[in-house]
Structure 1
Amino acid sequence: MERRNSRDVLFESLVLEDRAVADIGCGDGGLARAIRRAGAARVIGVECSPRQLAKAGAAETVDGVVIIDGVAEALPILSGTMDVVVFFNSLHHVPPQHMAAAMAEAARALKSGGQLYCSEPLAQGPFYDLCKAVDDEKEVRGLAYRALHAAHAHGLHVERETVFVHTVKLRSFEAFRDRIISANSEREARFDAAEAALRVRFEDLGTRTDDGWTFDQPTRVTVLRKERREDWDLHAHARGV
């Protein structure tokens, strides 16, 4: 499997210049700011975790980037205003019962012909094996993938997919802890209860480098496009509507 950086794949896959982009589940807003610096006209980051929102609020301000409190299944974004909607390691965090609604909301927010970009970690590899002791996401990652391929019901059609190995870089075990619990505060107690065993697994599964540790994480990118208005008209004509 080819080794690539997840962010590099995003920037190589999308035309961002002068585009309106929404980053759903944006965390501390780091990717949203990077997308703006890459030439996007404006970026809306949507996040529901109070801990992540606090980090985003404490980070540097970048003109053209706004981070707002919200959820994927009820996006606080006007209809038909986004050129690109991004789910970057975040779709599987949407409650399973709301994943279909998240796809419908992404379709609503997108302009005709807009793109949905979804990068999701696969339930395999050393980093998954490390994390699953705290939160085994195999089921929800599978459900997220199925939601993407059912999104044609909302006018979103898969254009392409690619699978590669992303290298997760962590400076320390403490950085690993912060990464895991920032995404989901409910993990904190489970992490602390298993800390001794996790420290052993961290060193067993990771590769030591000069500036920390690395872990392989197989990743899949799925790119979907919203039907253009003329496509809808053709479908309606074919149905005799």
Structure 2
Amino acid sequence: MTSTAPACARMVATETNTLLAATFDPAGARRLLDVGCGYGETTAHLAGIGFDVLGIDPSPAAISQARLRHPGLRFAVASAEDLPDDLGRFDGALCVNALHHVAPQAMQPALRRVLARLDPPAPLLVIEPLPEGSFFHAMLPVEDETHIRDLAARAIAGLVDDGDARLVDLLRWDRISLFSGLDAFLDRLVAVDPDRAATLDRNRPAIEAAWSRHAQPTEHGFRLVQPIVGWHLAPPG
């Protein structure tokens, strides 16, 4: 069995949206489930290139924003581990930067529930940021996700080891982000998780120091790199 460890991922030149299309198109997957869709940006992108996508998120506030930002698209308040039966079956599913926001004890049940809605060899793409890279180190004084990101990777490994999922491919790439300055970077972090706002004033000196150490000045702004891993999973069988 191929290792699920992020260190074993093969390096590719891609980005998330490109990888999603390149995985779902050859598989003939048209009806997709976007797990932990947040404000619906990835749902909207996939819908815009021809996929039939349902975005789900356990946060009513996030789904409300998704519906406001992307009228006409389909969203539902739901958690993957308690996926309602009436949502039907799907040709493929994605979980982008969301698994590490799930409670550790619910990570494997959530993935199992999603896989149960897919007919083999329908793909499930789980995409997660690694606890490394200049982006990660710049955000450490705002929130340290080292442990929870490691738990997400372990949850996937356990799922494959138990035979509840099949690992099809394991990829790694660098997400490059450019920011006009520190405030723009912090705005991004708070947009993802508004609870982080309370940390900004309290940890401002450490945040500024981390930014100075890790943000690389360029002619187009400040560059930060976030290594990403994508697990291409499929139901067993």
TM-score, length-normalised on structure 1?
0.82
Q: 1:201 to 1:144 in 2, by over 3 A?
A: same
> For the structure 1 residues 70 and 201, does the alpha-carbon distance in structure 2 shift closer, same or farther, using more than 3 Å as the test?
same
The residue type paired with residue 27 of structure 1 is G
% identical equivalent positions:
25
Deviation, 1:43, is 0.6
Question: Does the CA contact (< 8 Å) of 1:48 and 1:71 recur in 2?
Answer: yes
User: Cα 1:146–1:191, aligned 2, differ >3 Å: closer, same or farther?
Assistant: same
Residue type at the aligned position of 1:114: A
1:30 CA displacement: 0.9
Q: Which letter maps to 2:22?
A: E
1:67 and 2:67 correspond: no
Q: Once the 2 structures are TM-superposed, how far is the Cα of residue 162 of structure 1 from its aligned partner?
A: 1.1
CA positional deviation for 1:104: 1.5
Pick closer, same or farther for the CA change 1:213–1:8 going to 2, 3 Å: farther
Q: Secondary structure at the match of 1:92?
A: helix
Does 2:128 match 1:120?
yes
Q: TM-score scaled by structure 2? A: 0.83
Query: CA 1:78–1:223 in 2, change beyond 3 Å: closer, same or farther?
Result: farther
Please say if residues 160 and 222 of structure 1, whose CA atoms lie closer than 8 Å, have aligned partners that are also in contact: yes
Q: Which SS does the other structure have where 1:127 is aligned?
A: helix
**How many pairs does the alignment contain?**
225
Distance of 1:151 and 1:79 partners within structure 2: 23
Shift of 1:95: 0.6
Question: C-alpha displacement at 1:158, in angstroms?
Answer: 0.6
In structure 1, distance between residues paired with 2:175 and 2:85: 31
Compared with structure 1, are the counterparts of its residues 217 and 89 closer, same or farther at alpha carbon in structure 2 (3 Å cutoff)? same
Note if 1:83 corresponds to 2:91: yes
* C-alpha displacement of 1:199: 3.2
C-alpha deviation, 1:139, in angstroms? 1.2
Aligned-partner SS, 1:82: coil
Note closer, same or farther for the CA distance 1:130–1:146 as it changes in structure 2 (3 Å cut).
same
Aligned 8 A contact 2:141 2:206 in 1 = no
C-alpha change, 1:66 and 1:222, in structure 2 (3 Å) is same
- 1:235 — aligned with what? none
Cα drift, residue 18 of structure 1: 6.0
Q: Measured at CA, do residues 56 and 189 of structure 1 come closer, stay the same or move farther in structure 2, by a change above 3 Å?
A: same
Provide the C-alpha distance between the structure 1 equivalents of 2:87 and 2:68, rounded to a whole number of angstroms.
Answer: 29
Q: Once the 2 structures are TM-superposed, how far is the Cα of residue 19 of structure 1 from its aligned partner?
A: 0.8
The answer as to 2:205 corresponding to 1:186 is no
Q: 1:103 to 1:34 in 2, by over 3 A?
A: same
Map residues 123-142 of structure 1 onto 2, 5 A cutoff: 123-142=131-150
CA RMSD across the alignment: 2.4
Residues 142 and 18 of structure 1: CA distance in aligned 2, closer, same or farther (over 3 Å): closer
TM-fit CA distance, 1:165:
1.4
Structure 2 partner of 1:111: 119
SS of residue paired to 2:223: strand
Q: Distance between the aligned counterparts of 2:180 and 2:118, measured in 1?
A: 37
Q: 1:192 to 1:56 in 2, by over 3 A?
A: farther
Deviations along 1:165-197, one digit per CA (max 9) or x if unpaired, are: 111233443332233233333322123311343
Which residue number in structure 1 is paired with residue 21 of structure 2? 11
Distance 1:57 1:130, change over 3 A: same
Structure 2: how far apart are the matches of 1:11 and 1:204?
A: 36
Q: Aligned partners of 2:120, 2:87: CA distance in 1, in Å?
A: 10
Unaligned runs of 5+ in 2: 1-10
Letter in 2 for 1:150: G
Corresponding residue number in structure 2 for 1:97: 105
Could you say what secondary structure the match of 1:52 adopts? helix
**Structure 1: distance between partners of 2:94 and 2:129:** 14
1:48 paired residue among 29, 42, 58: 58
Which residue of 1 is the match for residue 48 of structure 2? 37
